[in-house]
Structure 1
Amino acid sequence: QIPDPFLKNVLLMGKANRQVFKRAKELGIEIGFKDLGGAGLACATSEIGATGGFGLEIDLDKVHLSMPNLLPEVICCAETQERYVLVVPRSFTKEVLKIYNQDWDLPHIYEGARARVIGKVIKQRHKGTKAQRHKGKAERYIVKHKGEVVCDAEIGEIVKGIVYKRKAKKKIYKEKEPEFPQPKDLRKVLLKILSSPNIASREYIYRFYDTEVQGNAVLRPGEADAGVIAPLPSSKVGVALSCDGNPFYGRISPYWGGATAVAEAMRNVACVGAVPSGLTDCLNFGNPEKEAAFWEFREGVRGLSEAAKKIGLKGYKETPVPIISGNVSFYNESAKGYAIDPSPIIACVGILKDYSKAITMQLKEAGNLIYLVGERYDELGGSAYYQEILGVNGRNVPKVRYEKERGMLYGVIDSINSGFVKSCHDISNGGMVVTICEMMMGGYAQGKLGVEIEMAEVRSEKKEKCQSVKVSECQTEVRPQRNYGLWTMDYGLRKGSRKTELREDKVLFSESGGFILEVPSKYASRLEKVFADYGVKAWKIGRVIEEEVLRIKGLGVVHSPPVHSPQSIGSDEGSESKVKGEKTLEVRLNELKKAWTSGLAEAMR
């Protein structure tokens, strides 16, 4: 970057690089390009040479420096930022130098800045064994300083890295799945979860920072599951970015903690209509010298890798979503030696061909339909429900069903870009019901629409299938219920209800991956076909309503007084009413907003 806040071209190097790329493409020339990061020039040049299958000869006397008399090892390994190394044909060299030094005038922008030829590609080899030469491991990496050779090594040996053969021992996770009766008052449960620190609105935090640098923001923090910018002037191309991870999942299963982090980051990018195109990771683990911690790390990386491979890059058959960079933080322990939960954090970058098609999570119009994509499974391990209501972590961690995940992602992306979807939000922390509440409220709690859900339409994991085609033969007798004060356990099912394995509270708060979509009725059949083409079902579960209320109809195990007026959070007077012999959960929008917007501030007091 240029150290002058008054210059408009503050990312001059990026623009100069793009001009080089454009010219190389016009000439049909293949070039190598790499930025200088860890280990500086030594790393970048050796890696770019090894990748191409050639050796390199570098002359450190030709490297431009910020100060004189630096040692050769310092010149080689310094990590000064905003530097790049290119490998280009000799015929293209003069033009490259002209672009950087004359067209973009680097020498006059900053002292010492310029483009310069510092070395060449060579084919010289060591006299290594025939097997070494055959495998391409004997190409030489030669570095000269003041006329002397200060490094002469096989380039393959430099880049292959140090391989540790550490012992790994599976860590035994002892916590079990809790057995508990369903809460009597789901309204109180919902409000408590919405106000919890891990769910509550972060508006105070992201409002504190400037999101309008360069004025290219399309979707700002909080408006959608991913932020979107328009980085290229006079271009419709948009870039979406999301960052995700859940250490509670990693505590139960490092593998699924890694896999779900990848899947959710990709889901969030898909929610705005972008195609997930690249990943980067930040891996946070304990001491790798301890067998259990190293096993956690190995499993977490395996989860990342398999998710990127098995979900795949849209438009490229059997091609993984590339993990283009990342870093690892080890030895994260307390003074007593207790390690943090395995915490892989994944950032995903997505591309939109037309950023004007990007959508937010806030509901748009009454009368539109609400669709669920992604079945509800008994997967509440590490969930907000277990953490906040029961104070346990559980065991049934959310899993990624790779083939279905791919179909869901691609279906959402295609549907949004076809204009069939008006708002979209992925199902993650808090489950389906929290997702719907957040869509009602919008990122800045400015929403003014409600939602009515038919519980009977929500697809969940089936306990058993009735083979009869007659509905009457699939009905179940009503069995008695037992009341436990605050809790109620249902021992049976209502007549005519689906016989599912999941209780209603688990259906509402399960964190199995999925999406909630707002769809105009005129696009319903076309949207369903898009998902069907990917082998995925989209279920119509409700509609957007004018009334500012969340209404979930068809509940059969809830016992609370009927709704009369908006109640304060924590009140014993629930907002649940009886409709045509069934129970209906109703929570006013202003109650949802109050819980969600005040939760973080309350937790920090």
Structure 2
Amino acid sequence: MPETAVVLDDAVARGRRLGLALSDDELRRIAEHLGRVPSDTELFAFDAQWSEHCSYKSSREHLKKLPTEGPSVLLGVGEDAGIVRLGEWNGETYGIVVAHESHNHPSQVVPFEGAATGIGGIVRDVLCMGAEVIGIADPLRFGRLENEHCRYVAQQVVDGIAAYGNAIGVPNVGGDVFFDESFDDNVLVNVVALGLVKEKDIIHSRAPQGSVGWDIVLVGKATDRSGFGGASFSSLTLDEDDADQNKGAVQVPDPFLKNVLMRATYAVFAELRAQGITAGFKDLGAGGLAGCSAELCAAGGVGAEVELERVSTAQRDLPPEVIAIGETQERLCWIVPPSFTPLMLQIYNDVYGLPRIARGACASVIGKVTETGRYVARYRDQVVMDVDLPFLTGGVRYHRPYVLPRTRSETPEEREAEMRRKFDGYARTSPFLLLEKVLTHRDVCSRAVIYRRYDGVVRGCTAIPPGYADAGVLVPIPGAPLGVALGLGGNPRYGKVDPRRAAELAVAEAIAQVSAVGATPVGLTDCLNFGDPTVPEQMGAFVAAVDGLADAARTLQVPFVSGNVSLYNRSSSGNHVAPSPIVACVGTISDIARITTGGFKQAGSTIGLVGIPQLVYGGSIIAEVMGLTTTALPEVRYPEFARYCALVREGVARGLVLAARDVSDGGILTAIAEMVIGATDRSLGAELMHWDALYDVDLMLDDQTPQLEMAIWFEEFPGFVCEVADWTAFRRLGMEVGVMTRYAGSTIAEPFLRTPYDHEVSVERLREAWEAPLRDFYGPSTGSG
């Protein structure tokens, strides 16, 4: 055997020659463990499995802080998706599968394909839990539209999501969009998917107990060079000089093949259930065939022997490392007993005709499960990979040094002085002058031109499509009254100021959104988008955000059931993205007849405020519009916030709350404007009360001024604006749960917004201001949004 030092040096030299992302220390550790110089195939496999994308090597120790258990959790973190309890129907317990991922780097380099394959991947994650895919959502973060390349990326990402999601026949039921200069070089494309599964039919992403000798079956598109090195690419800093080279690491989507592949897989599910067979199932994403089959077998405590020559390829003479590690899209991997294999192959290849849909697409047996705990791959009668599975899939962890963010906060007196100065020109004028400026802000204006490109009702089970409420709502079981709501939270302006508080507010916003339609929050997911973890300040921002998520979820008693971490969102010029914890919340509805949307329903209703403004404006839209330097962010006052949400949910259930919006971007008056713009009758308007009706006396600063009177309408805080049918009954209900509600105005049968000072603006003028900013960029759309 060669001297150890020579082996280690040769391993490092080979890794550098192959252009791997593995560090020299990692290469030496691999060679030392193997006792030899690793093969190219082995090195590429470790490069993928030890990437940040697959291993969570920098983040895993911190993610353990998140609460992951609760009475509604059917399956928590640890697999490709989590599952929460939906309810009982016809003697069966149903669950909602939820997964949350990112496809940031690919979408920056090749926006259309990157975004499309992001949808493709998240759909497979849900499918592989044994579920029928019922919905998707897309939280997006773009750079400044004044930048030509940012405009191109923003357009292509939306087109890619639309093209893929529409073609596979899955409705897009939610999303959000923010624009910020920190995303100029690093777009964030996060994706969420929902699925429906009976509890007894859940499939796990691991080799089943007693599966030694079973077949490993590869299904889907013929393997090609696309996506080779994708996992490592997603775990590196983006460099514009490598743009052309990086394009090869982005997968090529085929949504029409995926459509057939999904339907064929549903047929396989039916046969497995009919025969009472427990199988292992996982999609091929990061790390390709070797990554997927290795993780399946490692999770089951077994080994694998794979014959790479049996893999259907789109090109001749692909090297073994490409066959093993390439991330070609639209592929799945099964572990099934040999007795079931012929029927599975028949379903995929003959009944659904994969080979006729795409050249080389098929289902084929490519290996066997072994008892060795090792992963052995052969190519042309030679062993090209022979590694210990626990070491491959879990052998790397880091304890990165970090520096927690230092947040600056001014005194209330300093904040008041700045408000007086900045708002002086607006004192005693109409608040609608500022409202129009806020409504035209790109983080507030209508997104209809985006979501109307998506099919939001394709399966026929959408109760509330995008644009009608803070959350999308689906009715997934035909004939059943059960519904599921999906809300999203996350604000990069808050992340810049205080990552921990931003994370808390993201949880609160997602929970508030599902509560606003009448749903009960039962589970959370997160996608944590941050910069380079080797920079202590960036790692500190990540740690602070995780702490905020953990506190919020634990205190509000809504657990995390799945999630994702995306690091190295940094350009070669050193531009890190704004710390961006993005949270999704799944809410359940026991009676779909008792939900509501966000638009006013009738004249003569009361407009009520649920929640207490806090006289802080840090990270707000109005702060940006007015040039405020304040950094004080709103707090999530957990006991009170939980009661706010409970009051709104109960108000919806009793028919007292006819419409509700959470108070978020743009503040109270913006929420009211969106409610009147989205009214079911365009003849409706609103008459507002004097501002001081919204505050408790003990919250008032001394010597209130007209400047502060103006600012209050644009404050953002965890709370709600509601249209209430019976104000007396609603106030009584509020007192029962310990919430003091505030009268903010009433709806009127005229299409105007009015104040007590005779200020007035037409709803049509507000609508035009709100719809215009993105209309010219993305093209015209119809309807409200």
TM-score (norm 1): 0.72
CA deviations on 1:280-308 (whole Å, 9 max, x unpaired) are 65544344332212212332344345444
Indicate conservation of the 8 Å contact 1:255/1:302, yes or no: yes
**Unpaired stretches in structure 2, ≥5 consecutive residues:** 1-119, 121-162, 170-255, 779-785
CA distance in 2, matches of 1:526, 1:445: 24
Q: CA deviation at 1:85?
A: 1.6
**Paired residue type of 2:615:** D
Give the structure 2 partner of residue 438 of structure 1: 674
CA shift in 2, pair 1:603/1:383, >3 Å = farther
Among candidates 578, 582, 587, match of residue 341 of structure 1: 578
2:747 aligned residue (533, 544, 560): 544
**Contact persistence 1:427–1:515 (CA under 8 A):** yes
Q: Which of 723, 726, 730 lines up with 1:518 in the alignment?
A: 723
Distance (whole Å) between structure 1 residues aligned to residue 392 and residue 377 of structure 2: 13
CA distance in 1, matches of 2:402, 2:776: 42
Change (3 A) 1:413 1:80: farther
Aligned mates of 2:307, 2:595 — CA distance in 1? 49
- Secondary structure in 2 matching 1:58: strand
**Relative to structure 1, is the Cα distance of residues 267 and 21 closer, same or farther in structure 2, using a 3 angstrom cutoff?**
farther
Aligned to 1:51: 299
Q: 1:74 aligns with which of 322, 328, 334?
A: 322
430-439 or 50-59, which moves further after superposition?
50-59
DSSP-derived class of the 2:364 partner: coil
User: Percent identity at matched positions?
Assistant: 34
Q: 1:143 to 1:243 in 2, by over 3 A?
A: same
State the secondary structure of the residue aligned to 2:418.
coil
Q: 2:544 is aligned with what amino acid?
A: E
Deviation, structure 1 residue 197: 3.3
Q: Aligned partners of 1:460 and 1:480: how far apart in 2?
A: 15
Change (3 A) 1:210 1:340: closer
Match of 2:9 in 1: none
Partner Cα distance (1:241, 1:205) in 2:
18
Letter in 2 for 1:289: T
The Cα of 1:196 is off from its aligned counterpart by 3.1
1:291-330 correspondence runs (5 A): 291-313=536-558, 320-325=559-564, 327-330=566-569
Contact 2:688 2:746 in 1 (8 A): yes
> For residue 199 of structure 1, what is the aligned residue in structure 2?
444
* Cα distance change, pair 6–414 in 1 and its aligned pair in 2 (3 A): closer
Q: 1:101, 1:107 within 8 Å by CA — same for their partners in 2?
A: yes
Does 2:606 match 1:369? yes
- Which residue matches 2:781? none
Q: Deviations over 1:533-553 (max 9, x none)?
A: 6x6665554432224343456
Separation in 1 of the partners of 2:552 and 2:298?
28
Q: SS where residue 365 of structure 2 aligns?
A: coil
Q: 1:253, CA displacement in angstroms?
A: 0.6
Equivalent-residue separation in structure 1 for 2:743 and 2:609 (angstroms): 6
Deviation at 1:37, TM superposition (A): 0.8
- Is the deviation greater in 32-41 or in 441-450? 441-450
Q: Distance in 2 between matches of 1:455 and 1:38?
A: 53
SS at 1:68 equivalent: coil
Alignment of 1:90-129 (within 5 A): 90=338, 92-124=340-372
Q: Secondary structure at the match of 1:116?
A: strand
Give a deviation string over 1:360-419, Cα, whole Å, max 9, x none.
Answer: 311011122333333222332111122212x12422212334454455445545654565
Secondary structure in 1 aligned to 2:671? helix
Superposed displacement of residue 247, structure 1: 1.6
Q: In structure 1, which of residues 596, 599, 603 is the aligned counterpart of residue 770 of structure 2?
A: 596
C-alpha distance in structure 1 between counterparts of 2:748 and 2:675, whole Å: 13
Amino acid at match of 1:73: E
Rounded to whole Å, the distance in 2 between the matches of 1:67 and 1:306 is 51
Give me the whole-angstrom Cα distance separating, in 1, the residues matched to 2:651 and 2:549.
Answer: 27
**How is 1:164-243 mapped onto 2 (pairs within 5 angstroms)?**
164-174=398-408, 176=410, 178=415, 179-182=417-420, 183=423, 184=427, 185=429, 187=431, 188-206=433-451, 209-211=453-455, 214=458, 216=460, 219-228=464-473, 241-243=486-488
Residues of 2 paired with 1:521 and 1:115: CA distance?
Answer: 61
The alpha carbon displacement at 1:5 in A equals 7.7
Judge conservation of contact 2:167–2:259 (CA < 8 Å) in 1. no
- Work out whether residues 455 and 552 of structure 1, in 8 Å CA contact, stay in contact via their aligned partners in 2: no
Aligned equivalent of 1:248: 493
Change (3 A) 1:602 1:84: closer
Question: Counterparts of 2:520 and 2:590 in 1: how far apart (Å)?
Answer: 9
Instruction: Identify if the C-alpha distance between structure 1 residues 43 and 171 changes in structure 2 by more than 3 Å, giving closer, same or farther.
Output: same
User: d(CA) in 1 for partners of 2:465 and 2:535?
Assistant: 42
Tell me what 1:263 maps to: 508
State the AA in 1 paired with 2:385. Answer: C
Deviation at 1:250, TM superposition (A): 0.9
SS in 2 for 1:224: coil
**Partner SS state of residue 180, structure 1:** helix
**2:403 alignment partner, SS class:** coil
Determine if the alignment matches structure 1 residue 378 to structure 2 residue 629: no
2:750 & 2:741 partners in 1: Cα distance?
Answer: 25
1:225-247 alpha-carbon deviations (Å, 9 max, x no partner): 23456778888776655554322
8 Å Cα contact 1:54-1:121 kept in structure 2: yes
- Determine whether 1:458 maps to 2:694: yes
CA contact (8 A) 2:529 2:565 kept: no
- Cα 1:14–1:312 change in 2 (3 A) is farther
The reply on whether 1:141 has 2:344 as its aligned counterpart is no
**Separation of aligned partners in 2, 1:68 and 1:531:** 73
Name the structure 1 match of 2:287: 39
Deviations 1:485-512 (A, max 9, x none): xx747xxxxxxxxxxxxx6455432211
State which structure, 1 or 2, has the greater radius of gyration over its C-alpha atoms: 1
The 3-state SS of whatever aligns with 2:619 is coil
Distance in structure 2 (CA, Å) of the matches to 1:323 and 1:461: 43
Q: Give 1:452 shift.
A: 3.7
Q: What is the DSSP-based 3-state SS (H/G/I as helix, E as strand, rest coil) of the residue aligned with 1:225?
A: coil
Query: What is the alpha-carbon distance in structure 2 between the residues aligned to residue 452 and residue 488 of structure 1?
Result: 16
- Give the AA of the match of 1:265: A
Whether the 8 Å CA contact 1:16–1:104 is kept in 2: the answer is yes
- In the TM superposition, residue 158 of structure 1 has moved relative to its aligned partner by 1.8
1:304/1:19 CA distance change after superposition, 3 Å: farther
CA contact (8 A) 1:196 1:600 kept: no
Deviations 1:49-99 (A, max 9, x none): 233333333333333333333222212211111111223445544443443
Instruction: Determine which structure has the larger helix proportion and give its number.
Output: 2
Instruction: Return 232-241 or 416-425, whichever deviates more.
Output: 232-241
Q: Which moved more, 1:175-184 or 1:506-515?
A: 175-184
Give distance in 2, aligned partners of 1:540 and 1:416: 18
Distance 1:291 1:444, change over 3 A: farther
